[in-house]
Structure 1
Amino acid sequence: MLHLRVICPPELTEHVLALLKDARGATHLTLHRGAALVPAGDVVEADVARECTNSLLDALGDLGVEREGGVTLEAIDTTLSVAARRAQEAAPGEADDAVIWEELVARTGEESRLTWTFAAFLVLAVLIAAVGVVTDSPVTVVGAMAVGPEFGPLAAIAVNLVRRRPELVGRAAVAVGVGFPLAMVATLLGALLAEAAGLVTAQSLEGADKVDFIYQVGPFSFVVALLAGTAGMLSLVSSKSAALVGVFISVTTVPAAGYAVVAATLGRWDRAGESALQLLVNLVGITVAATAVLAVLHRHRARARDRSPAEVD
């Protein structure tokens, strides 16, 4: 369940209370009159089932609560309550299948910006991948996959394509379009220093047969990217963080960037080109699959809302 807190002006309080009292998946309803200072107003709180959260947020938006006050959602880890159990049973659908669109937009929006933190993680991930390439270490390559933060902006692109927010799509695209070249330039400098120190030679790639999968592009490269994008978006909408980690270590994005740089510095332009193609295939595949998943869920929600506006999950 989720904890819902609403700050609203006194003239809207009774409407908010009536809305939450009538909601099938809401319970533990409390009211604190005059408790809010900025913005001033009353505070209404309730615990709500995930399945009915979207419809409640839509109704609160129709009341103008966002303009006059505010709405906050927090996840509840443990609830010991018969009333809460009854509310969950009364809510339509299953909690794991419920998509809270505003939560999804907020989560992906936070990760869609080109920040120093995002750039630093991507640089570190590509550098680790490059080390894995020259040492022929699949374990190191997998570690680089787990460090890479690239799924955040890719998910943001998918979310905002479905919600038709081109300006946010552009912002997320900039994070990917600038982040990867920046990480590859940093890795290029590191590779050149390693070569100058004699740590990397032309033979480094010849014997690296355990990481050949990085640059070998084939039909399954795109298939895996599609499957990973689907799994990643499903993990986001259902808050399954463990599954999201699995997505990070299943796609060859960061390793391909690292391999392309190392291969280019050693004059292996064929492998550098194939690695770059691998990177592009994976980025496109993930984005296409994530967008398709959200489009299906969005259409399902629209149809359910047309049938019964009060029971949209």
Structure 2
Amino acid sequence: MLHLRLITPAEKTDEVVRKIENTVGTAHLVVLPGAARNPAGDVVLCDVAREAGDGLLASLRELELDRTGSIAVENIDLSLSRRADKAEEEAPGEGADAVLWEGLTDATHEESTLSVTYVAFITLATMIAACGVVLDNAILIVGAMAVGPEFGPLAGICTALVQRHPRLAWRSVIALLVGFAVAMAVTVGFSLFMDAAGLFHKSGLEGTRPNTAFVYAPDAFSFIVAVLAGIAGTLSLTSAKSGALVGVAISVTTVPAAANAAVALAYGDTGQTLGSTNQLLLNLLGIVVAGTLTLLAQKHFWKQQRQTNTD
């Protein structure tokens, strides 16, 4: 269930209430006349089944409530109510399958912002991965994958393509490109420093690496895994199962490939630099293609389901 807190101008309150009452899957409607002060107006509270939430939000935005008032949405972790149970039963579809497009756009907008924190995380992840490739340590590679925040901008690109938000697409691409560029540049310097300190050596990069050689040797499986991870990551976002993102993060060779390219560049190994760059680009492409197609499929599925329920 979702909880909606609305601030509505007094002249729009009746229409807002009608929208809520006519939406299948709503419960616990509360109207507090004149309770809002900034902006001034009435406060309307209600709960709505997740599968009916996107339609209700769309109808509220048609009233320009997001401009003249306020729309706040929260997830309800626990609701002990027969009315809530009935609302979920009446709402079409399953809550786990529902896509809250407004929430997805907002979440990816935040995750795809080029910020100091984002750059710090992707840089630290790349430096950890650099240690992993030189030491041929799979544990460090997995740790770097989990730390990397690059799925946020990738999800932002997918959402922007499906929802036709050029500004979100642009900011996501910038975050992705600038983030990896800064991370790889810093990692080149980090590698040279570690080499000067005697902690890194070129033989560690060019020697036999049974645990990490895959990061600079792209093949068909690289793209297949990226596609599968893109689907899983997108589903985890749209279904609010964020825990699955950890599994997605450690299944795709993005940060490790960038790290290997940076270390190889520091040592002048053109072969590994090109191979790692190809691995990186292949994985990014696979995730974006799979994520976009997954969102398109979900959008089509819910459109068909709404039409069926309307008929």
Q: What TM-score, normalized to structure 2?
A: 0.96
Alignment of 1:73-112 (within 5 A): 73-112=73-112
In terms of mean alpha carbon deviation, does 75-84 or 247-256 score higher? 75-84
Aligned match of 1:301: 302
* Aligned equivalents of 1:192, 1:102: Cα separation in 2: 45
In terms of mean alpha carbon deviation, does 169-178 or 143-152 score higher? 169-178
Aligned match of 1:191: 191
> Deviation per CA, 1:72-114, whole angstroms, max 9, x where unpaired?
1001111111111111111110000000100000000001121
Question: Structure 1 residues 267, 62: closer, same or farther in 2, change over 3 A?
Answer: closer
Q: What is the identity percentage for the equivalent residue pairs of Structure 1 and Structure 2?
A: 49
Aligned match of 1:279: 280
Residue 67 of structure 1 deviates from its aligned partner by 2.2
Aligned match of 1:138: 138
Q: What TM-score, normalized to structure 1?
A: 0.96
Alignment size in residue pairs: 310
CA contact (8 A) 2:160 2:169 kept: yes
* Aligned equivalents of 2:69, 2:309: Cα separation in 1: 28
In structure 2, give the amino acid aligned to 1:78.
L
1:211 and 2:202 aligned: no
Residue 53 of structure 1 deviates from its aligned partner by 0.6
Aligned match of 2:250: 249
* Aligned equivalents of 1:173, 1:267: Cα separation in 2: 28
* Aligned equivalents of 1:306, 1:112: Cα separation in 2: 33
Residue 217 of structure 1 deviates from its aligned partner by 0.7
Aligned match of 2:200: 200
* Aligned equivalents of 2:265, 2:63: Cα separation in 1: 59
**Which 4+ residue blocks in structure 1 deviate beyond 3 angstroms?**
301-309
Residue 22 of structure 1 deviates from its aligned partner by 2.6
Aligned match of 2:228: 227
Aligned match of 1:27: 27
Aligned match of 2:38: 38
In structure 2, give the amino acid aligned to 1:237.
T
Residue 302 of structure 1 deviates from its aligned partner by 3.4
* Aligned equivalents of 1:209, 1:270: Cα separation in 2: 18
In structure 2, give the amino acid aligned to 1:178.
V
In terms of mean alpha carbon deviation, does 185-194 or 290-299 score higher? 290-299
Aligned-partner SS, 1:241: coil
Q: What runs of 5+ residues in structure 2 fail to find an aligned partner?
A: none
Residue 308 of structure 1 deviates from its aligned partner by 4.9
* Aligned equivalents of 1:98, 1:56: Cα separation in 2: 13
* Aligned equivalents of 2:83, 2:246: Cα separation in 1: 34
Aligned match of 1:121: 121
* Aligned equivalents of 2:289, 2:216: Cα separation in 1: 21
In structure 1, give the amino acid aligned to 2:215.
I
* Aligned equivalents of 2:169, 2:18: Cα separation in 1: 38
CA contact (8 A) 2:92 2:309 kept: no
- Alignment root-mean-square deviation, CA: 1.4
Residue 170 of structure 1 deviates from its aligned partner by 1.2
